[in-house]
Amino acid sequence: MDGSFPAKVEVLVVGAGPAGLTAAHRLLKAGSQVLVVDARRRIGHPLRCAEATEPGFFEDLGFEPRPTWLRWTLDNKLVMLNRPRLEEEVAAELARLGARVEPATAVTALGPYERGLRSVTLATATGPRRLQAHLVIAADGVASSVTRMTGLAGRLRAHELGACLAYRLQRIRLKHPRRVLMHFAPELRPYYFWILPSGPDEANVGVSILAHRGHAAALILESYLRRSPELAGGTIVERITGFVPSALPLPTPYADGLLVVGAAARMVDPVIGAGIKHASTSARHAVESYLAARRSATAADLASYRLRLEPTYGHLHLSLLRRYTNVQPPPSK
């Protein structure tokens, strides 16, 4: 893209992960003018999650799954995405459909909502840019800067955040290459160790631990690898790091001229870290709420978004309760 930016856009989507891409695609189909910005230099890279999700994710996203977007299918109907390829190719498809997609672009300031618009300052590779947006959709992940700028959320505290480290392993010997393993060992509670097969002889293998113990993640993970005859000797082809929120979702994921979706709204399962499907579902509901309000972006008109999320919020509240009481791994299939 060239360095020029429009002075005004209907919808600014901040973040080109599953939530942001879902929102952008649905808005485009409804005829909205959409600008998508993402702080990463290359959309989809680096990978920050384990990539497992439910098949219904593609219904939310609005695209039929392509072979390049899938790594593997598991017995419990989960699919392992090739998330970097998916995000990169979907972003390119949205650009072809008329969206403006800008990588290496971050929001640095948001003004108040006045006369139906928010002023936005962006940091770009060619310098700061300013524009006005009728609606901002915050899809900028766990460390969302947009929610902090608008006062909807503060920084998560150490006990509300898990640090994750995973290896993509190849040349391993899985007894059940389509079965998910999650192990809630005493030394990890209330966090966990996982094996997510992504092929007949490969898997995403990782640990999630309390954020303030993040420095120990590699030691813990490598100890598991040494003790497992299925994994020992595997070749590490990728290291994946990230954080997951272990807190209740935002009580009010909207404000004047603003909707918050996915991990930015803390819609991640606090027991098993699953967030991709919650991200796409929340983005779908966000767009539906905006369109149902006839594109009014006042907080009063966007309030239906929270009501649409009630089943998701109920699930996440119960999951957080389980996390602190009797955490058990999901039943094996």
pLDDT at 329 over 50: no
Residues 143 and 17: beta-carbon distance below 8 Å: no
Q: What percent of the chain has pLDDT over 70?
A: 96
Q: What is the pLDDT, as a whole number, of residue 303?
A: 98
Q: What is the CATH number of domain 159-245?
A: 3.30.9.10
List the chain domain ranges: 8-155+247-324, 159-245
Q: 83-116: per-residue pLDDT in tens?
A: 999 999 999 999 999 999 999 999 999 999 999 9
- The average pLDDT across 21-47 equals 97
Mean residue pLDDT of the chain comes to 93
Q: Is residue 321's pLDDT more than 90?
A: no
- Predicted pLDDT at 326: 59
**pLDDT class of 3 with cuts at 50, 70, 90:** low
- Which residues make Cβ contacts (< 8 Å) with residue 37, sequence separation at least 6? 12, 13, 14, 15, 16, 102, 103, 105, 106, 107, 122
143-171: pLDDT as tens digits: 999 999 999 998 888 888 999 999 999 99
What is the pLDDT, as a whole number, of residue 306? 98
- The answer to whether the pTM exceeds 0.85 is yes
pLDDT at 254 over 50: yes
Asked whether the predicted pLDDT for residue 2 surpasses 90, the reply is no
Q: CATH topology of 8-155+247-324 equal to that of 159-245? A: no
What CATH topology corresponds to 8-155+247-324? FAD/NAD(P)-binding domain (3.50.50)
pLDDT score of 213: 85
Give the residue among 121, 81, 224 at the shortest CA–CA distance from 166: 224
pLDDT score recorded for residue 261: 98
| CA–CA dist 74, 113 (Å, integer) | 45
Characterize the bridge pairing of strands 8-14 and 34-37. parallel
pLDDT of 333 reads 39
pLDDT at 62 over 70: yes
